[in-house]
Amino acid sequence: MRGFPPIQIFLLALTFVVLAVPLSHLTGTVSHAQPAPTKVAESQSVKSLVQLRYAHKPTTLSVKIADKEVITDIAASPIELQTALLSVKDGVDVFLSATWAEGTPDTSITIELEPDSLASRSETRWSSAGSLDEVITFEWK
């Protein structure tokens, strides 16, 4: 038993039309959706206490937070200062670099960050061969 060819062609064309309508909406270039509103970046500056302690006084010392040098001169340990952190939500990267005079044994530097209304975080790093060059990430969750 064979089908009637005009009815088969009609059903095939109807199937293509039914499939073409949703496909044209999916692949069409016209967008009817509203663009998502862009969030304005909130510049939330958080005051923070930075404390730096070391056993042996370094000859050079550089502490940068967000490309801003926060330690300007080398003083007796501990060094405490107030600074503003842009955002602690995603963590804070501290770039620590120090060198010591020749003959100084391997020594440590401890840096502590205490943003307002958040817990204090402390990290200690040890020098090797009279120098230290580290990136320390502080996170609050």
Residue among 89, 140, 141, 73 nearest 113 (CA): 140
Question: Is residue 111 included in any domain, yes or no?
Answer: yes
pLDDT at 42: 47
Give the Cα separation of 93 and 67 in Å (integer).
10
Give the Cα separation of 110 and 2 in Å (integer).
88
Mean pLDDT calculated for residue range 29-34? 65
Question: Is residue 86 included in any domain, yes or no?
Answer: yes
At 115 the three-state DSSP class reads strand
Provide the domain limits for residue 82.
Answer: 46-138
Task: Domain count for the chain, please give it.
Answer: 1
Provide the pLDDT confidence category of residue 56 given band limits of 50, 70 and 90. Answer: confident
Question: Is residue 8 included in any domain, yes or no?
Answer: no
Choose between 111 and 39: higher pLDDT. 111
Q: Which residues fall within 8 angstroms of residue 45, CB to CB, at 6 or more apart? A: 84, 85, 86
Render the burial of 48-75: b for 16+ CB within 10 Å, e for the rest: bebbbebebebeebebebeeeebbeeee
H-helix or E-strand containing 16? helix 5-27
Question: Is residue 55 included in any domain, yes or no?
Answer: yes
Q: 């840096």: which residue's tokens?
A: 111
Question: Is residue 77 included in any domain, yes or no?
Answer: yes
Q: How much is the pTM?
A: 0.62
Question: Is residue 91 included in any domain, yes or no?
Answer: yes
Question: Is residue 18 included in any domain, yes or no?
Answer: no
